[in-house]
Amino acid sequence: MANHFQFVELAREDPGKLALERRTTQFAEIYTGYDADTASAQAGRCLDCGSPYCEWKCPVHNHIPYWLRLVREGRLLEAAALSHQTNSLPEICGRICPQDRLCEGACTLEDGFGAVSIGAVERYITDTAFAMGWVPPVADEPRVQGRVAIVGAGPAGLGCADVLARNGVKAVVFDRHPEIGGLLSFGIPEFKLETRVVQQRRAVLEAMGVTFRLNTTIGVDLSFEQLRNDFDAIFLGLGTDKGITGDLPGGHLPGVHMALPYLIGNAYRVLGYPGGEGYADMAGQRVLVLGGGDTAMDCNRTALRQGASSVTCVYRRDAGNIPGSRRELTNAQEEGVQFLWNTQPLEIVGEGGQVTGLRVVATEAGPVDADGRRRPVPVAGSERVIPADHIILAFGFDTEPPAWLPAGEVNFTADGRLQTVGATGRFAFQTDSPGVFGGGDMVRGSSLVVHAVQQGRSAAAGIMAFLAQPAGSPAS
């Protein structure tokens, strides 16, 4: 029988971490994961609330209390099946979702007792089920007839492919990288998500009937018109990879790097793939990282592992107002990253055509801005220059319409996001072009992996509705 007071008798126990001396010298996941007994015990801390706030806070509305109960009872494969009903990448979301801002942050036990360790249990469920040979079930007969091209093997594309495959619909996924995952493989460093985890998901999806055509760039190796001719529907899940520069003077100097090319270049080098033009070796260098999100933390910790002599993160607000995960901030601090809070970059300075430092000004909290946060206001007379050999800009990402889409084929918003009917239209996430769908960061703007998964899954339902319509029916 369940112990309804387990949350009192048993404290929250997060998975262990590798020792610091190992963490900072290798690109490997730092968390060790749960064993069966620990997973069961930690899952048993759930109160099974009458109103599961964790479930509502989760963007895919995972049935969290129910699969926690199944883990507690040792019914692991049932838990895996239930987890996959709402999430196409639970083993990945369990590793990289900011649970402190989502499900765990909404847990009833968060105040006073410590939230249930939902993310770690989620990871344990799928890792263990896959190790046992479990694969998500696929329909015996196709729900609808048709072939679907998916452009982009990132979270949105994989979420779409998963739902289509489980309903027996043939999906072919195209991606320019040599492995699936998009930024899961090439933007998120291996100390957070090892590529083997993504490769395992690829094997599972291929066993379900999904085909991947990698090292394929639309507009170069294959035209959009060819996709139109060869497939009955198209899903665009290209994400966002245009970095925001912040328009800092001196941003053109050698030694200034955009965050994403830097991370992708390092990933290509670590994984042994040719290419990775953005690679920069920070060994022995003084590195400044500008920004306070998860991408900034990834850059901080990557530079440390490359052997930088110092890594300092510069952010214009205080630690309580960073947009990234508190867990990632803690990991960066543990590993030796220094933080300059309330510090606004003004100008990148250099000599002889090379970066030498960053001119900054101290800030203090001012009036509340449109986002509900107090705007940082410069403090008069506080300007100074911080010496640096390399500066990484991690201010976020913008969308950019791909050049290979024919003019007028689909529409974009003023800020470059792909326009769709959203989740409530007749054919969810269809664009203005019948049979062409989109989802993820390309539609939403730069956001969390779990949001992209959710939109890809919803778009798959819209695609199946489109394919199922009688011949001659209106396309929208």
Which residues have C-beta within 8 Å of that of residue 186, sequence separation ≥ 6? 177, 179, 263, 264, 267, 268
The pLDDT value recorded for residue 5 is: 72
Q: What is the average pLDDT across 359-365?
A: 96
Tokens coding 41: 């015990």
Residue range 20-63, pLDDT digits in tens: 999 999 999 999 999 999 999 999 999 988 889 999 999 999 99
Percent pLDDT > 90 in the chain is 84
Specify the CATH superfamily of domain 147-240+399-468. Answer: FAD/NAD(P)-binding domain (3.50.50.60)
The pLDDT value recorded for residue 400 is: 84
Residue 95 clears pLDDT 60, i.e. is over it: yes
| Contact call for residues 360 and 314 (beta carbons, < 8 A) | yes
pLDDT bucket at 2, cuts 50 / 70 / 90: low
pLDDT bucket at 111, cuts 50 / 70 / 90: confident
| Contact call for residues 89 and 201 (beta carbons, < 8 A) | yes
Q: How far is CA 371 from the centre of its chain?
A: 22
Q: How far apart are CA 259 and CA 291, in angstroms?
A: 10
Q: How far apart are CA 33 and CA 24, in angstroms?
A: 19
Q: How far apart are CA 147 and CA 166, in angstroms?
A: 14
Specify the CATH superfamily of domain 274-396. Answer: FAD/NAD(P)-binding domain (3.50.50.60)
- Report CA torsion sign: 277, 283, 285, 288: positive
| Contact call for residues 434 and 201 (beta carbons, < 8 A) | no
The dihedral formed by the CA atoms of 45, 48, 50 and 55, expressed in degrees to the nearest 10 = 90
Residue range 257-307, pLDDT digits in tens: 999 999 999 999 999 998 888 899 999 999 999 999 999 999 999 999 999
| Contact call for residues 182 and 263 (beta carbons, < 8 A) | no
| Contact call for residues 23 and 17 (beta carbons, < 8 A) | yes
Q: How far apart are CA 434 and CA 441, in angstroms?
A: 21
| Contact call for residues 273 and 185 (beta carbons, < 8 A) | no
Q: What is the CATH code of the structural domain delimited by 6-131? A: 1.10.1060.10
| Contact call for residues 71 and 83 (beta carbons, < 8 A) | no
H or E stretch including 170?
A: strand 170-174
In this structure, are strands 147-151 and 170-174 parallel, antiparallel, or unpaired?
Answer: parallel
Residue range 171-220, pLDDT digits in tens: 999 999 999 999 999 999 999 999 999 999 999 999 999 999 999 999 99
Which residues have C-beta within 8 Å of that of residue 98, sequence separation ≥ 6? 294, 324, 325, 327, 328, 448
Residue 474 CB neighbour total at 10 angstroms: 7
Cα–Cα separations (whole angstroms), residue 180 to 108, 161, 199, 411? 37, 12, 7, 27
Residue 126 clears pLDDT 70, i.e. is over it: yes
Q: What is the pTM of this model?
A: 0.94
pLDDT bucket at 85, cuts 50 / 70 / 90: very high
Q: Which amino acid is at 82?
A: L
| Contact call for residues 248 and 357 (beta carbons, < 8 A) | no
Instruction: Tell me if domain 6-131 and domain 147-240+399-468 are identical in fold.
Output: no
Domain boundaries, the chain: 6-131, 147-240+399-468, 274-396
